Structure 1
């Protein structure tokens, strides 16, 4: 049964923080002991605040310390679940390395000290298709192109007026290539195109078959449309799902901002 965390008593260890009106961090009492838990976390908009460009995101020192602590306390059962590539995730969190699902489930790394990506489910986007999609960035100054290998992202945070034109251009390409196995992922000021056949949920399903995640009760925190597939599978593991910035369908609770998420994780570590 799903609950609105605003209707539930807060554990004394978890304060409401700076959540948006009507929201509050999840009670610590909902979370099993960390030795029995798998911590799954989206990155952009969940752990980290959005920046004008994807390269400008910043990991606060306190968050890095919290992540290291949670990774140790869970026995390694902490993973980042992101649309970014594993390489990009590592650059952002450097010098720290964590288990991670990258490329919306296209690649996965179980051990932070392993250079080997396992469970790759898809080849990179076709080069010609990628070239045609990349040309959309020329529609307006301010559209930023991000090549993730398994996907291509068109960011329009600096050109919000171009949103409609971007999606229309993508639709025209899809109509011209009706058999191309691609999916369009609308996000927060971004239009992302990836190969079909894998999602963040498929990545998590694979992750949960491996130690140290296997047999644990997961909780996942995410903020975007691409995270909803993971929200949907949490009940299969008796897990918990929390959204950020909005009350997503089917979640157990929600946070107002990434700041609230970071505070909650720090307090959970010190519980």
Structure 2
């Protein structure tokens, strides 16, 4: 890790001692190193505020300027890392496209203008999806999202159904003890996917390709599924930041997605000033 990123780690207190977004190192500490940094960003709950339903998520107009600016400053080493499919990601950020790891590592795009390359992510068995889909009938407000390689049950509009959803999923899994599936708990969502790929496996693959290869990643995420990426940041001498909650072992935290967007905008603006004649 370079000197300033190392200083970021030593300067941070334990997660229990962090009080506010001020505990996150100020952006200018990273400015001299954007040419050697890979910026990796979760979307929902990190870049974007959580909405009642996944389809209501939207990217604020000013975020486009920030992300495109950072993409240029890092020579293309900025990627979105999400449980959403690449198609969903593109719909949210349209007309912009960014390098991305989608579907918890099931899909990857290395170049903003490139094609998606699926990475060993077979679709869920049709009969399994049919059985899981019946869980949505437990209560009004449970929304079913079929991603092909995974199936998500969103219950932000029916929080009372959380226990029943997980009990039903457990019963189905008990009937299929050898099925290669994994249950991912998230913020008001229960997602069932094939085992064998995660956001972390997707990031590991991403970091083997230019322009990410050889850079030190800066990852920001909020949910349980992001913890697999937090855990591998030391392998790349990288830094990790959580959003909305304090996670053991990360370098700092933000309170809200708005704080993340402000951080990134300041990072871009400070870099622009540093590079001006």
Q: What CA distance in whole angstroms lies between the structure 1 residues aligned with 2:225 and 2:266?
A: 27
Following superposition, the deviation at residue 119 of structure 1 comes to 4.9
Q: Is the contact between residue 243 and residue 255 of structure 2 (CA under 8 Å) also seen in structure 1?
A: yes
Q: What CA distance in whole angstroms lies between the structure 1 residues aligned with 2:118 and 2:12?
A: 35
Structure 2 residue aligned with 1:68: 68
Q: Count matched residues.
A: 258
Q: Is the contact between residue 5 and residue 27 of structure 1 (CA under 8 Å) also seen in structure 2?
A: no
SS in 2 for 1:136: helix
Which of the pair is proportionally richer in helix?
A: 2
Structure 1 residue aligned with 2:161: 162
Q: Is the contact between residue 100 and residue 108 of structure 2 (CA under 8 Å) also seen in structure 1?
A: yes
SS in 2 for 1:268: helix
Structure 2 residue aligned with 1:89: 89
Following superposition, the deviation at residue 6 of structure 1 comes to 6.8
State whether structure 2 residue 135 is matched by structure 1 residue 99: no
Structure 2 residue aligned with 1:79: 79
RMSD of aligned alpha carbons: 1.6
Q: What CA distance in whole angstroms lies between the structure 1 residues aligned with 2:180 and 2:99?
A: 28
Q: Is the contact between residue 6 and residue 22 of structure 1 (CA under 8 Å) also seen in structure 2?
A: no
- Change in Cα spacing, 1:37 to 1:132, as seen in structure 2 (3 Å) is same
Gaps of 5+ in 1: 8-19
Q: Is the contact between residue 21 and residue 259 of structure 2 (CA under 8 Å) also seen in structure 1?
A: no
Structure 1 residue aligned with 2:274: none
Q: What CA distance in whole angstroms lies between the structure 2 residues aligned with 1:255 and 1:6?
A: 14
Gaps of 5+ in 2: 1-5, 271-277
Bigger mean CA deviation after superposition, 252-261 or 120-129: 120-129
- Change in Cα spacing, 1:139 to 1:3, as seen in structure 2 (3 Å) is farther
Following superposition, the deviation at residue 122 of structure 1 comes to 1.3
Question: Residues 183-262 of structure 1: matches in 2 within 5 Å?
Answer: 183-262=182-261
Q: Normalising to structure 1: TM-score of the pair?
A: 0.92
Q: Is the contact between residue 123 and residue 150 of structure 1 (CA under 8 Å) also seen in structure 2?
A: yes
Q: Normalising to structure 2: TM-score of the pair?
A: 0.90
- Change in Cα spacing, 1:61 to 1:6, as seen in structure 2 (3 Å) is farther
Following superposition, the deviation at residue 111 of structure 1 comes to 0.7
Following superposition, the deviation at residue 4 of structure 1 comes to 6.7
Structure 1 residue aligned with 2:38: 38
Q: What CA distance in whole angstroms lies between the structure 1 residues aligned with 2:34 and 2:243?
A: 21
